[in-house]
Each structure stands twice: as structure tokens, then as C-alpha cells.
Amino acid sequence: MSYFPLTEDDRKQMLSEIGVKSFDELVAKVPAQLKNPVLDLPEGLSEFELRQYLENILGENQTARELLSFLGAGSYDHYIPSVVRHILSRGEFYTAYTPYQPEASQGTLQTIFEYQSMMAEITGLDVVNASHYDGATAFAEGCLLALNFNQRQKVLVARTVHPEYRQVMKTYLSGTDFQIEEIPFTAAGTLDLEAFRKMLDMNVGCVAVGSPNFFGVVEDLDEVSDLTHKHGALFVTTGHPLSYLVFRSPGEWKADVACGEAQPFGIPLNFGGPYVGYFATTRSLVRRIPGRLAGITKDRNGRRTFVLTLQAREQHIRREKASSNICTNQALCALAVCVYLSTLGREGLKDAALLNVDRANTLRSRIEKLSGYQIPFSGAIFNEFVVKSKRSVSLLFEKLLKKGVLAGYSLEKDYPELKNHFLVTATETKTEEDLDHFAKLLGKI
């Protein structure tokens, strides 16, 4: 009971100061038929017991570190410098409230401003919000922004966008009259331009694609972007943000909105969350961006001050007319991103990105040489790629798991047309020996 500062004595005295004889008088307005429900809950534990109990349960997991993991597919194991966790463990950051009172929140506000600045540089766009729930929700709201912006009915989304992102977008749009159509992919695992041309008409308000796409392929988006803009639609992109340090950024593809998952920047796998969605737009869309924005102004003494700004977009001011319903975001995760990016720095980030390119390409070349496996998509990749196996993927995965290896992500469930295909990811955390070991195991099976 160590979280309660009131003593039994305090309670008695306070009740008497309030002017009641018993606690029940305070809740007399609660109808009797509702009162004091029977709760099926366990008894409390001491902290010592609790730790043992929880560590036992957590011990039933086998982590992606205890195993040798080549799983990615939207959730990436990158090295996280110690600094990140130490700074995030500061109570002054993690127990702070949303920075609505600028005078009491300059620390948080400045870090949000720095996060926005760094992510704007990386995406090559002008404005970034203070964070979104995750990549999928950022993507869904990015498309929604585009549709609302030009008041058109249709979104064209590449089938090579992460299946869960497409599913979340579909769910978000299900209450509206907006229509979703999927752009197919070519035999090279890239967007089918011919099909796209035919689908594009003046009802299309938004074209959304991924690069690197879900198959790991980095796409040439020049023509897609041009065509989209010629038809007056907005161009939305998503992708692994570390790839933008070496491959063309959304801004360089003339994207209007870039949104996706910033988890690779300093956030552990965490069984899928909390992560953090990045949400970037051009300056002309700034007044439609969902969520919080930190800006700079001066205080009454002329001192530089960070504040939340353009709040007239937000739910606590505009209610049903707000640009989104988002309130709580992923601020602490955005701080992790900010610290991570600062720690690796301009050169370190490029190195990390290159090392990903190196690991994935090295592994791809090795697997390509193995009999029983093919590399169906030969385009440029960042840190993941598709492998086609002669045998059933589920059997293959089962055998590899017995050898302590998580081989990757099976694509059959989301893409029935890709039977026996799976996605393999190799980040900078994989050593030469890891790649060797994996390739050898694959070769033997």
C-alpha cells in the first residue's frame, strides 16, 4: 500500500473536516443498486513478490535477442545507445504532463521542437507534428488529410504498403464515403505504373505509396509523383526513415505528406508498442496537420520561448471541427527519437544507414546462391528483401526456430499470390557470423 500517503488517522480527520461521519456520505449520490460491486480480482503483492511473479511470467517469453532474428516487416531491431534510456528515465521528462503550460514545460517543448526539426530534415519536408500513435495511424490520417484537403472521393494505395497500414486506413475510412482502390505491383515487386495510369482520374484525391515498400524494395517515384500532381491529387509516402539518410527522402520525391514509423530511431521492439508515428507535410498543409505542434515565440520579457502553437486545429479548442481527435500522442517516444538522432548525429546516421544496406545486400547475395531459394525482386533494397523458397515457408520457419532462428515474415497470409515467399530483414545489429550462420542453415534445409 506504499502508494498512499494518507494514514488512517489522516482519513478520519479529513472526513471530519469535510463534515461527514463516514466515507459513504461522500458517495451518497451513487444509486444503491450500483454500489460496491463484487470484484473478481487478486489480492495485492509486496514489491518483492511482484517482481518475482512478473519476472517468472516474462521468463516464459523467448526474445528476438535470445533467438537470432531476421524479422522486420514494420518493427525493427536497431542498436539503441545507452544514452537514450538514461535520458528517458528522468522523471522530469516521463512524469511530466502535456506541455499546455509553457512556463512549466520548456524542457518538453524544446525537445519536441528539436524532434520536429530533425524529422523535417530527414523526411525533407517542411513541417512535422509532435508525433502520432504509430506508423499505421499516421498513414491513415495522412490519407484522410489529403482527401479532406481536395474534397475528392478516392484514395489509390499501393498494394506494396504494409498490410496493417492498409487495414488501419480502411478501418479509419469505413465511416466515411471515401473509396479505397489498391494499385497492383509488378513482377519486380514495384508499383505497376501502367495499372496506376488507368486508375488515376479526377476523383482521386490521394495517392499513397511506400518506399522502401513492404517487400523492402526502394522505388523510383518520380513518375508516380508527377502523375499524381498532374491530376491534382496529393502524394503521400511512407517508409523506413533511416533509409532516407541514403535514399531519396519523401521531400525529394515531392511528397505532400510523409508518414510512417519512427520506432527504428531509438525505440525497442516492445512487442509492437509503444512506437511513434512521424507525420510530415509541406508548409501549405500546416493548418490541416493533426495533433500538436511546438513553435517559437518570445515571452513578455523578450526571451525565446517554446510553445504549442496553431492549437485552433485541435480537439480541445475546436471540438467536432478539429482536424483530428488526437490528444494523447507518443511524446516520450518522440523524445527517444530526438535523443537517438542527436547521439548518432549527422555522420553516424549515414553510417548506420549504409551498414543496413550492406548487411541486407550481403545476405541477399548469399541466399541467392543457395539452391532451393530465389530472389524474386531484384531492385535496390534498404534492409529487407523477399526470398522465395521451394518448400513451404511454415515448415521452413518451424525447422529454423528449432535451431534458434527467427527467419523472417511469411508473406502468404497477406499476399496469397506470393506462395512460399518470405521477407528477411538484416539491420546493422547482424554480424558477419550471423549472416553466415543463417545462410548455412538455410542451405542445409
Partner 1 sequence: MNVITDLGEKKRVMEKQIAGRESKLIFEKSRPGKRVHLTPKSKISQSVKREWIPSVLERKREALLPELSEPEIVRHFLNLSQKNFSVDTNFYPLGSCTMKYNPKINEDMAAHPSFTNLHPYQPEETVQGILRIFYDLEQWLIALTGMDRFSLQPAAGAQGELLGMMIARAFHRSNGDTKRRKVIVPDSSHGTNPASAALYGFEVVTIKSNERGRVDLNELARATNEETACLMLTNPNTLGLFEDEIIEIQKMLHQKGSLLYYDGANMNALLGIARPGDMGFDIVHLNLHKTFSTPHGGGGPGAGPLGVKKRLEKFLPVPLVEKKGDKYFLNGQLPASIGKVKSFYGNSGVLLRAYTYIRKLGIDGLCQVSRDAIINANYLRKKLNGTFVIPYPEFCMHEFVASAEAQNSFGVHASDIAKRLLDFGFYAPTVYFPLIVKEAIMIEPTETESRETLDQFAKVMHEIDREARECPETVKLAPHTLPVSRPDEVAAARNPILTYRDLISQKS
With CB under 8 A as the contact rule, which of the stretches 59-67, 180-188, 191-199, 229-237 interacts with partner 1? 59-67
Using alpha carbons only, how large is the chain's radius of gyration in Å?
A: 25
Cell 522465395 -> residue: 388
Binding to partner 1, residues 363-392 (CB under 8 A): 380-381
With CB under 8 A as the contact rule, which of the stretches 198-206, 226-234, 338-346, 435-443 interacts with partner 1? 338-346
Q: Which one among 147, 255, 332, 418 touches partner 1, defined by CB under 8 A?
A: 332
Binding to partner 1, residues 396-435 (CB under 8 A): 397, 401, 406, 409, 428
Q: How far apart are CA 44 and CA 50, in angstroms?
A: 9
Give min distance, CB of 402 to partner 1, in A.
11
Site for partner 1 contains 102 (CB under 8 A): yes
With CB under 8 A as the contact rule, which of the stretches 46-54, 151-159, 184-192, 197-205 interacts with partner 1? 46-54
With CB under 8 A as the contact rule, which of the stretches 31-39, 181-189, 198-206, 434-442 interacts with partner 1? 31-39
User: Which candidate, 99, 189, 209, 196, places its Cα nearest to that of 388?
Assistant: 189
Site for partner 1 contains 101 (CB under 8 A): yes
Which residue lies nearer to partner 1 by CB, 148 or 374?
148
Which residue lies nearer to partner 1 by CB, 230 or 319?
319
DSSP string, 358-376: HHHHHHHHHHHHSTTEE--
Which whole-number Å values give the CA distances from 328 to 51, 99, 153, 316, in the listed order? 29, 11, 29, 11
Beta strands 179-183 and 277-281, pairing class = unpaired
Q: Which one among 21, 91, 371, 444 touches partner 1, defined by CB under 8 A?
A: 91
Give min distance, CB of 147 to partner 1, in A.
12
The helix (H) or strand (E) run that includes residue 127 is strand 127-128
* Positive or negative: CA dihedral 211, 214, 215, 216: positive
Q: Which one among 274, 375, 412, 441 touches partner 1, defined by CB under 8 A?
A: 274
Give min distance, CB of 97 to partner 1, in A.
5
Which residue lies nearer to partner 1 by CB, 222 or 417?
222
Give min distance, CB of 11 to partner 1, in A.
6
Which residue lies nearer to partner 1 by CB, 62 or 392?
62
Q: Which one among 151, 320, 371, 444 touches partner 1, defined by CB under 8 A?
A: 320
Q: How far apart are CA 353 and CA 358, in angstroms?
A: 9
Site for partner 1 contains 8 (CB under 8 A): no
Q: How far apart are CA 311 and CA 329, in angstroms?
A: 15
What phi and psi values does residue 427 have, to the nearest 5 degrees? -95, -175
Beta strands 154-158 and 204-210, pairing class = parallel
Site for partner 1 contains 335 (CB under 8 A): yes
Site for partner 1 contains 135 (CB under 8 A): yes
Give min distance, CB of 164 to partner 1, in A.
4
* Positive or negative: CA dihedral 255, 248, 356, 281: negative
Which residue lies nearer to partner 1 by CB, 192 or 314?
314
Binding to partner 1, residues 181-240 (CB under 8 A): 218, 220, 222
The helix (H) or strand (E) run that includes residue 389 is strand 384-389
Number of residues located near partner 1, criterion CB under 8 A: 201
With CB under 8 A as the contact rule, which of the stretches 17-25, 188-196, 367-375, 434-442 interacts with partner 1? 17-25
Residue type, 29: K
Which residue lies nearer to partner 1 by CB, 167 or 203?
167
Question: Angle at the Cα of 109 (from 265 to 115), degrees rounded to 5?
Answer: 25
Which residue lies nearer to partner 1 by CB, 99 or 189?
99
Site for partner 1 contains 63 (CB under 8 A): yes
Site for partner 1 contains 347 (CB under 8 A): yes
User: Which candidate, 267, 223, 273, places its Cα nearest to that of 241?
Assistant: 267
User: Which candidate, 242, 217, 219, places its Cα nearest to that of 350?
Assistant: 242
C-alpha cell at 44: 495485492
Q: Which one among 150, 270, 284, 392 touches partner 1, defined by CB under 8 A?
A: 270
Binding to partner 1, residues 278-307 (CB under 8 A): 286, 292-301, 303-305, 307
Which residue lies nearer to partner 1 by CB, 99 or 210?
99
DSSP string, 27-40: GTTS-GGGSS----
CB-based contact 68:406 (threshold 8 Å): yes
CB-based contact 139:158 (threshold 8 Å): no
Which residue lies nearer to partner 1 by CB, 207 or 352?
352
